[in-house]
């Protein structure tokens, strides 16, 4: 039933935006999004993405993230441009449809958890570092990580006090190889960007890469912040996030490596 509802809203949104679907369906996390390659009215290839939420929850960070990221970062970092959006509500659900620039490059991994070394070039790493430096220096009032969450959740999963965040920067908020294309790289899926502890993006890329030591070493070499106290705090926070996610059944294969990393940084 939910799939039928999403497909109908997707077709209606495509019509409202003047787009013609031209590729297979791609379902997002727990069916919350539905996307496909499409053709825009001026014959541009694009990516049509539909986000759904109950009407009373259709607001806030995730709902507005890609639109607000476009205002700050389109044309300034390597990310898909946002062409147009539309919003609708029916039968107790709200929908936000977004037309993004279509990026022909494949992503660096199919899953956030990296399992094989993509062996990226020096230019790839330099591009990523440059873009993240720009993101870090950009001001926003959006929040990706809250100190209150850290104080409450770190003791629950790591049995230690939550560290105090003293250095805040803007972060992409969901940086892993499934959100990085293989050649440029483009940074995808900006809905969670916001203020976070310094080194947060680097820490997330590292933690999702722990099963591939060669790639994890390159992350550490590229982002020296990980060797600082700020980077240690960021790693503790990201480890906690992933352990919390694992408690709900997500990416259980990472848990032993997360526990090993805790022993190094806690």
pLDDT digits (tens, 9 = 90+) for 143-181: 999 999 999 999 999 999 999 999 999 999 999 999 999
Please give the model's pTM, rounded to 2 decimal places: 0.94
Instruction: Determine the Cα–Cα distance for residues 229 and 220; give it in Å rounded to an integer.
Output: 14
| Virtual torsion, Cα 18, 22, 27, 33, nearest 10 deg | -10
pLDDT of residue 1: 57
Instruction: Determine the Cα–Cα distance for residues 97 and 242; give it in Å rounded to an integer.
Output: 29
CA–CA distances in Å: residue 225 to residues 18, 63, 211, 220: 45, 30, 21, 8
User: Which residues in the chain come in under a pLDDT of 50?
Assistant: none
C-alpha torsion sign, points 3, 55, 73, 13:
positive
Please give the sequence-ordered ranges of beta strands (E in DSSP) within 106-192, or none if there are none: 168-171
Burial class (CB in 10 A: 0-12, 13-18, 19+), 199: buried
Q: Residue 91: how many CA atoms within 13 Å on its side-chain side?
A: 7
Instruction: Determine the Cα–Cα distance for residues 246 and 69; give it in Å rounded to an integer.
Output: 28
Instruction: Determine the Cα–Cα distance for residues 239 and 236; give it in Å rounded to an integer.
Output: 5
């Amino acid at each position: 039933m939910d799939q039928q509802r999403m497909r109908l809203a997707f077709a209606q949104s495509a019509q409202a935006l003047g787009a013609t679907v031209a590729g297979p369906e791609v379902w997002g996390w727990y069916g919350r999004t539905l996307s496909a390659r499409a053709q825009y009215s001026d014959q541009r290839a694009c990516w049509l993405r539909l986000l759904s939420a109950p009407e009373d929850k259709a607001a806030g960070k995730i709902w507005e993230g890609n639109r607000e990221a476009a205002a700050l970062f389109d044309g300034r970092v390597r990310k898909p441009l946002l062409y147009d959006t539309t919003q609708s509500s029916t039968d107790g659900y709200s929908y936000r449809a977004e037309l993004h620039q279509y990026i022909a490059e494949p992503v660096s991994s199919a899953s956030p958890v990296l399992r094989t070394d993509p062996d990226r070039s020096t230019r790839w790493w330099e591009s990523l570092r440059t873009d993240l430096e720009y993101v870090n220096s950009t001001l926003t009032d959006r929040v990706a990580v809250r100190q209150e969450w850290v104080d409450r959740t770190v003791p629950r999963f790591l049995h230690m006090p939550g560290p105090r965040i003293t250095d805040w920067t803007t972060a992409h908020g969901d940086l892993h190889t499934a959100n990085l294309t293989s050649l440029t790289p483009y940074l995808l899926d900006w809905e969670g960007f916001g203020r976070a502890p310094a080194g947060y993006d680097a820490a997330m890329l590292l933690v999702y890469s722990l099963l591939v030591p060669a790639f994890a070493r390159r992350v550490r070499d590229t982002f020296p912040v990980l060797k600082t106290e700020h980077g240690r705090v960021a790693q503790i926070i990201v480890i906690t996030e992933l352990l919390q996610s694992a408690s709900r059944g997500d990416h259980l294969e990472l848990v032993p490596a997360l526990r090993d990393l805790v022993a190094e940084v806690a």
